[in-house]
Amino acid sequence: MKIICIGRNYVAHIKELSNEVPGEPVFFMKPDSSLLRNNDPFFIPEWTNDVHHEIELVLRISRLGKGIEKRFAHRYYQQIGLGIDFTARDVQNRLKEKGLPWEKAKAFDRAAVIGSSFLPAGDFPDLKNIEFRLDVNGKTVQSGNSGLMIYDFDDIVSYVSQFVTLKIGDLIYTGTPAGVGPVKTGDRLEGYLKDQKLLDFQVK
Ligand code: ZN
């Protein structure tokens, strides 16, 4: 399986990092070795001093597809989950300055946290009104709503599949809302989708 991540999909987050609003979706990938599951602890790598949390809604691809038309895109995911796209912001900023790829800052081990369970897409009355949030040490630091995404789920699935064949089990992280920030040793991170807690783990 592969992990596809959408960047710059919420205006408020684009502004907080002083980036430009993209004219089309921005995506990058993480390898399966970056997955962190079962609420296992996250270890901050020694080569970075600024790992940021990015809470994101995650689509699980349920059907093989390429070149998917937007009007059929909803047929390719049936489950929605919650994840964190950990980002070594200091490393990413250095790479961005040089115009180099971001992989090192995004694809490292344990950088793709995924919640223990997914919710059926059919459980959501409106896919454009899904609330989610991240609490750090009991305080809400990021709260998002899928209605604020520049590119919605169907846009993303259709766009990515023009370039990359989607396979069953692939995960698509759909971008983070505002409020990203550094994590430190000892932090407890709790992620909620609607009112369900799907993430609860420690930073070590
Ligand atoms: Zn992200």
Enumerate domains of the chain plus CATH numbers: 3-202 (3.90.850.10)
What letter does residue 66 receive in the DSSP assignment? S
In the chain, which stretches have pLDDT less than 50?
none
Distance 7 CA to ligand 1 centre (A): 5
Q: What pLDDT is recorded for position 63? A: 98
Helix (H) or strand (E) holding 85: strand 77-85
Q: What pLDDT is recorded for position 14? A: 85
Query: 62-82 pLDDT, tens per residue?
Result: 999 999 999 999 999 999 999
Q: How far is CA 138 from CA 22, 24, 51, 81, 89, in A?
A: 33, 36, 19, 21, 23
Q: What pLDDT is recorded for position 18? A: 86
Distance 25 CA to ligand 1 centre (A): 12
Distance 140 CA to ligand 1 centre (A): 18
What pTM was computed for the model? Answer: 0.96
What letter does residue 53 receive in the DSSP assignment? E
C-alpha span between 124 and 10 (Å, rounded): 21
Query: 177-203 pLDDT, tens per residue?
Result: 999 999 999 999 999 998 899 999 999
Q: What pLDDT is recorded for position 121? A: 96
Distance 28 CA to ligand 1 centre (A): 9
Which residues are 35's β-sheet partners? 112
Q: What pLDDT is recorded for position 186? A: 98
Distance 56 CA to ligand 1 centre (A): 7
Rg (CA), the chain: 16
| Residue carrying structure tokens 């399986």 | 1
Distance 199 CA to ligand 1 centre (A): 16
Distance 65 CA to ligand 1 centre (A): 23
Q: What pLDDT is recorded for position 53? A: 98
| Residue carrying structure tokens 């989607």 | 166
Distance 118 CA to ligand 1 centre (A): 19
State the average pLDDT for the chain.
96
Structure tokens at 50: 């600024």
Largest CA distance in the chain: 45
Residues making up the chain, counted from first to last:
204
Q: What pLDDT is recorded for position 116? A: 85
Distance 75 CA to ligand 1 centre (A): 24
Which residues are 52's β-sheet partners? 87, 182
Distance 94 CA to ligand 1 centre (A): 17
C-alpha span between 135 and 189 (Å, rounded): 6
Dihedral sign for Cα 118, 122, 125, 129, please.
positive
Between strands 55-61 and 87-88, the pairing is unpaired
Distance 129 CA to ligand 1 centre (A): 19
Q: What pLDDT is recorded for position 138? A: 98
